[in-house]
Structure 1
Amino acid sequence: MTEVQFYRDSDLPFFELKLCDSSRLAYKKHAHEEYSLGIVDAGRSTLWCGGRLLAVGPQSVVLIPAGVIHACNPQAENQWRYKMLFLDAGWVNQFFAATGRPAAGCPAVKAMTDKQALAVIGNMVASLTGPSGPLAKEASIISLLEQAANAVSPVLPGRRTKELSKLAVIRDYLHAHFRQKITLAALEQVSGLNRFTMLRAFKEEFAVPPHTYQTLLRINYAKRQLRQNKPVTEIAYAAGFYDQSHFIKVFKGHTGVTPEKYQRLR
């Protein structure tokens, strides 16, 4: 039995996430217009590409460039489960150029077994399949792509630049618009910083990435509104959260208590 799910976001048309849970699912030789970034959850397979055979196992991350003909053949005795992130080739090539890497020319397989790498994968899936906004979603994709790209093409020395003077513009924009839906494209436009280098530079300067900074602003706003005894449902939407359930989960994660309990505290 095969179960396949797809996730897309109209605000971020450059990606498509595929979740596949199957006892055995093999494909003939084929190619995609997009870059393919696959994460294996269970099972083992052999990736064929241009006469080369690459072993793929649990917690492997596979990066396949756009247009490269390949085929994946899971072993029959194993359950085969994986996630596949399809990324627009132009968007990925911008990432390679902005981060000082030569574009990937052939598939690569990297085992991501350390806790930090696994957390990056988990965060990406939770963001893309949950109620996160476009800022958090794109940031999670870039974080995972950075992890995978390090195995393919390391950063070339001297090509990465940080325009720290422009980070204050981003911070001020977040303060002014934190209740709204914000994208990396918007931050790129107001600051002049490339989105791929912006994330790292912003985190180095302010300790958290832009989407987390935005969430902190929303939480602080919500706390002020709760102290004024505003209705929780009203606060959830006014602060910019997806719905009341999302607001309660995020608020408790940051404060240790639900909004209702915080409101009762005196």
Structure 2
Amino acid sequence: MKKMNDRKIIFDKTLNIEAYIFSDGTQDFPNHFHDHYVIGLINNGNRTLTYGETKYYIKSDDMILFNPFDNHDCRNQDGSLLKYIAVNIPKQSMEYLTYMIKDKNTLKFKYPVIKDMGLAKQFEKVHYMIMENENEMEREELFILFMDELIDKYSKYKSLEINNENNKIQTIENYIIENYDKIISLDILSEISGMNKYAVIRSFTKIKGITPYRYIETIRINKSKELLKYNNDIVEVALKLGFNDQSHFTKTFKKLTGLTPGEYKNIFK
């Protein structure tokens, strides 16, 4: 386990998840999304969470449940110091869990913020066992039991079909996903979608809940995390993913994750 000032983070190979603790932090996290599920618990501190178009005021004992690609931002509300524990679960792992537990394809959490003291206590115990690398069989068993109850109470099942709300925005999204490592401009997005660039910004932000630029940033950072896991050079990762230089990459990475690329890379050594 690596300790980085006010943060601790590990990768549990058995469960295939990241577990981490943020403590004594006041950092704001701007509008972004994850390509994985996030389950977290606030131990201390007051925060304002904007999830899509809805604002929540979160505090101690609140649990947060983020679905992949759901945009959100989280900001310090009153200067209080944050203590927060969480796990990141890859989509493939969640799909496997959902299939094994409920015989379904995949799921979507119904609410981004819940108050459930019983589940919170279970989560604290499971999280502690992961962070301390305690008995493998027991922690896997407790994790599955926790997920079983969480899925039962606070999720809905859905198919894996893509919901095409707007064909033009879907075209833009597909282009970004396929070309995130290249130079992408509003002119290019305008050309491929058949919309003027002002309509691109307005429509994309309305439908996706995040601006095209921030969407591109988030995709690049999510991809960079995969490369850093395998000990790739930070400068090479930055250039490979279309960042101007290492400084730009580091600034963006920390803005969206709370860690520097070097700190994140050290987790997997």
2:1 maps to 1:11: no
Change (3 A) 1:150 1:55: farther
Gap regions ≥5 residues in structure 2: 158-269
How many angstroms apart in 2 are the aligned matches of 1:97 and 1:11?
Answer: 18
* Deviation string, structure 1 residues 123-179 (Cα, Å, up to 9, x no partner): 212210224233223223223333433442269xxxxxxxxxxxxxxxxxxxxxxxx
The residue type paired with residue 109 of structure 1 is: V
Please give the secondary structure, in 1, of the residue aligned with 2:108: coil
Q: Greater strand share, 1 or 2?
A: 2
Larger relative contact order (Cα-Cα within 8 Å, sequence gap ≥ 6): 2
Q: In the TM superposition, what whole-angstrom CA distance separates every residue of 1:6-54 from its partner, at most 9, and x where no partner exists?
A: 0123333x20001000241211111112100011101121221221112
Specify the alignment match of 1:21 in structure 2.
23
Is 1:113 matched up with 2:117? yes
Between the aligned partners of 2:26 and 2:149, the Cα distance in structure 1 is 28
Match of 2:144 among 142, 145, 166: 142
Give the equivalent residue in structure 1 for 2:95: 93
Offset of 1:118 from its aligned partner?
A: 4.2
Aligned to 2:108: 104
User: Aligned with 1:97: secondary structure?
Assistant: helix
Answer yes or no: is the 8 Å Cα contact 2:109–2:156 preserved in 1. Answer: no
Q: Per-residue deviation at 1:67?
A: 1.8
**Aligned pair in 2 of structure 1 residues 54, 93: CA closer, same or farther (>3 Å)?**
farther
Alignment partners' CA distance in 2, 1:126 and 1:49 = 27
Distance 1:146 1:54, change over 3 A: farther
Aligned pair in 2 of structure 1 residues 153, 23: CA closer, same or farther (>3 Å)? Answer: closer
Matches of 2:29 and 2:14, distance apart in 1 = 30
Q: How many residue pairs end up in the alignment? A: 153
Pairing of 1:1-266 with structure 2 (within 5 A): 3-12=6-15, 14-100=16-102, 103-104=107-108, 107-114=111-118, 117-153=119-155
For 1:148 and 1:133, locate their aligned partners in 2 and report how far apart those are by CA, in whole Å: 22
SS in 1 for 2:128: helix
Which ranges in structure 1 are unaligned for 5 or more consecutive residues?
Answer: 156-266
Query: Which digits, 9 at most, give the CA deviation of each residue in 1:64-118, with x for residues without a partner?
Result: 111221111121332211011001111112323343366115542111224xx34
Segments ≥4 residues shifted beyond 6 Å = none
Q: Distance in 2 between matches of 1:108 and 1:151?
A: 13
